Chain A
Amino acid sequence: MLFRVSLLLVLAALTSACATAPTQPIALQTEFWDTPNQKVGVVISEIPAPDVFLPGAGCLLCVAVAEGNHATLSKNVDTFDTSELQSLPEEIKHKLESKGLEVVVLSEKFSGKALKKIKSSDPQSPKFDYSSFANDSDITHLLVVEIQGLGIHRNYSSYVPVGDPQGWFSALSYMVDLRTNTYAWYKPVQIFKASDIVWDEPPAFPGLTNAYYQALAEGKSTLTNDF
């Protein structure tokens, strides 16, 4: 009995050590705006295709049932547009320039996979080495917008939906000081928007479709309103 309890404790300790604490939001310091000779590069990740996300449907059969129940909705989600996000780097550039900063939008698409990983116990420090961006251009700061997911989100508990589907937008935006490889600003964004009246209106799902575009617009606004 004692052996079993000890084993459980060891396992719990091991698994909790594996999980790294998430980076907490970091506000942009007011001194940032007053520091001379700074140039910001803005880069955005590939925008994923909108999809239906059903987290919590944890077994294969649960997933199959949940996806089957949302087949018509999935078909509608395939028609969702993401083009409004393409202008995000330019909008950020415009905002930063209006504050007197020199800004350049990088044409490449950002991917963390291309960067060297850094081991750090500090959850508030970057997990990658971004210095290659400084080598390639004369920027001092890199502002990254990573679009992590968008579409329709509905929570499940195995087979059971635990709420209505909602429009969903998830992104991570941060600014790295390339001279020190530290975050100057860090902002995760999660927007959920419910349908205004009812959601189950196949085939066009106007309420949910509207909620998706509301989430997108609100997400964009949240990403830019710190500047």
Chain B
Amino acid sequence: MKAHLFILLCCTAIAGLTGCGSQNHRHYIQYQQQPENESIEHVGLVVVNSGEPRFLGGLESSGPYQGAGGMLYGPGAAGFAAMLAAHAITQSAVDEAKAAEAQAQANLILDKYQSVLARYTDSYIAAVSLASLNTIIPDGKFHSITEHPENFGFIIEMSPVFYMAQDEKSLVLKNAITIYKDLPEDKIVYQNMIQAIAVTESSTPSDYWLAQDGQELSRVVSGAIIRSIEAAMKDAGGHFKNTTKAQTIAYKLSDVTHYERGTVLIDDCDKRVVRTLRGWIYILPQNIMCGPDEEAAAAKI
């Protein structure tokens, strides 16, 4: 009997332990696309207020506090189980506190840009996006809405967040976009994370961004949002085909080379559009010499 109990305890402990050290179950935007490709018309645009700031300082590392570290435990299965629970709770609380502190520290980089960034309220983002989208894609398809009214063909919900690198040489937009079909009932036709990157080679990046009352920063922020919406609409419409073989794509961000596995969807003079293994879309800056034909083709995107 004792032997059976011991084996049972061992099995329970092993099952519990093998789960220990796994990552926190953080949620992220899952790529989702309806198989039928529809032309998206009569679009209502909503900037979702998640309560989180729209602009953040970039952290040097994407996962600063990974791993559970080593563990010591005393004798006895009960003590062992209690240790596991305590370890999980305290580790999680410590990690969150450290992450919040690191983020607050990283956000200090934005202080000098506040005069420009303060303009980017949700209603301003919606207005800027609509003005540009209705210019690029005419016929007045886009309308600003603050809640879901009826009789819109589609509704695009987005929640853009920008990250400024600590050396201020790059600005990364992560825009969570969901497209609903309004009728006959709210139905998600597309959902994805679109990431757009803007970089400057200037040795004094803050002078570059803030020149002429922050005109360059405004141009880049607005441009990234527009490009992300365009990319989402193209993807939802089935215009992005995964025709190339997966490859490891290198791109520079603040003098550091990053790598991402994915398929190249667009390879233009000024940008490269990539679908990552998660299905997300990355719009990466590119600066290659192109002839007039390629430039004209790139201008259409």
Contacts and interface: CB of A to CB of B under 8 A. Distances in A.
B66 interface: yes
B248 A213 contact: yes
Given A163-B21, A199-B23, A218 B66 contact: no
A70 to B, nearest CB: 9
Contacts of B22: 161, 164, 199-200
Interface string B5-49: 000000001100110111101101000000000000000000000
Contacts of A217: 248, 250, 259
Interface in A207-221: 207, 209-210, 213-214, 216-218, 221
A159 B276 contact: no
Contacts of A198: 23, 25-26, 28
A218 B258 CA distance: 9
B25 A161 contact: no
B17 A164 contact: no
Contacts, number: 81
Contacts of B13: 159
A7 to B, nearest CB: 29
Interface string B275-293: 0111000000000000000
Interface in B254-301: 257, 259-261, 276-278
Contacts of B261: 209-210, 213-214
Which applies to chain B's interface (DSSP): helix, strand, loop or mixed?
A: loop
A66 B131 CA distance: 56
B62 interface: yes
Given A206-B278, A217-B259, A161 B248 contact: no
Contacts of A164: 21-23, 66-67
Contact of B63 (A159, A196, A200, A210): A196
B259 A213 contact: yes
A157 B248 CA distance: 33
A161 B21 contact: yes
A162 B66 contact: no
A65 B11 CA distance: 10
Interface stretch (B68-76, B103-111, B230-238): B68-76
A12 interface: no
Interface string A183-196: 00000000000111
B277 A160 contact: no
A210 B28 contact: no
A13 interface: no
Given A159-B13, A164-B21, A198-B23, 5 more contacts: A162-B21, A162-B68, A206-B278, A210-B260, A221-B257
5 contacts: A163-B67, A200-B23, A206-B278, A216-B248, A218-B259
